[in-house]
Amino acid sequence: MKTAKIIVIILISLLLAQTVTAFSNISNNDSTDTDKKILFKAVAFEAAYYTGAMLILQNTWYHDKKVVPFHFYNDNQGYLQVDKFGHAYGAYVESYIGYHLLLNSGVSKKNSLIFGGTLGLILQTPIEIMDGIHEGWGFSWGDMAANAMGTALFVGQELYFDEQIVQYKFSYSPSVYSKTADGYFGKTSIDKMLKDYNGHTYWLSFPANKLIRNNKLPDWLNIAAGYSANGMYGEYVNISSFNGVEIPVTTRSRQYLLSLDIDWTKLNTQSRFLKIVFQGLNFIKLPFPTLEYNSMGKFRAYWIYS
């Protein structure tokens, strides 16, 4: 399950962003020489970070996998494409972090977009190559397309709107399926969050006042469209048992969701700490009343969907 790898990369990216910010005390200016110096410093940190991240992956996901000739793996239909939404989300977040890391360090917007905004695609491509040379995995063109879409969503908006009008968000709630899987999705809460795609939901969040063209609505109020899937005890088809325990029969289905949301970056505060917290919160979709339509042709309403 490649989403776990993406989450590791994102977490280390967040740590890197704070580290570079702490070490970079040069104020913003238009000097080309200063821009190059800061860019070199940031790229050096990124290179060090990525070396460490790949070593972590090598010693976790790949340590017990046999190295084999490079090969491809078509997993486009796996997990009802929830995995692909995860890849796009990972690339979006990494590109966001890379861009703002450089921009806040004093690098020009153009160079921040070139070297930071493309970070999502740059970071995830070697992971696909590593998958392509290890047994049990494989290079996936579907994953690469999703990675490119996540990065393009970020870079395209910065070029066209000069801001992120459409925000990519994630929410997770332990699914009922993990309780009856006898450890198939892992034993710990972290294992279940990484492996149980039934609990994943991915959202595109839009500003309500721009979507319905009503300037009386507050800037921080958003409307979010989400996607999730349920009933999955396997990548393509459901398993019937695990560790000798029978797995309940379920129907695999897709859910299309509509909900309210908050753009935390639009909340006014003078606190630098709160601004950092709000930026982090903007990658997460918080629980709100939600409407659902699923692939079984049924509608459902939630007072709170998490």
Any residues with CB less than 8 A from the CB of 281 and at least 6 apart, and which?
Answer: 264
Give whole-number Cα distances, 100 to 68, 93, 196, in Å: 38, 11, 31
Q: If residue 259 lies in a helix (H) or strand (E), which one and from where to where? A: strand 253-262
Rounded Cα distance between 6 and 8, Å, is 5
pLDDT in tens, the chain (306 residues): 555 555 555 555 554 544 444 444 444 444 556 566 666 766 666 666 666 666 666 665 676 778 889 999 999 999 999 999 999 999 999 899 889 888 888 888 998 898 889 888 888 888 888 888 888 888 999 999 999 999 999 999 999 999 999 999 999 998 989 888 778 888 888 878 888 999 999 999 999 999 888 888 999 999 999 999 999 999 999 999 888 888 889 999 999 999 999 999 999 888 888 888 888 889 999 999 999 999 999 999 999 998
Q: What's the token pair of residue 140? A: 């996936």
Rounded Cα distance between 11 and 19, Å, is 13
Rounded Cα distance between 87 and 294, Å, is 22
The domain segmentation of the chain, as residue ranges, is 1-163, 165-306
Q: What's the pTM? A: 0.85
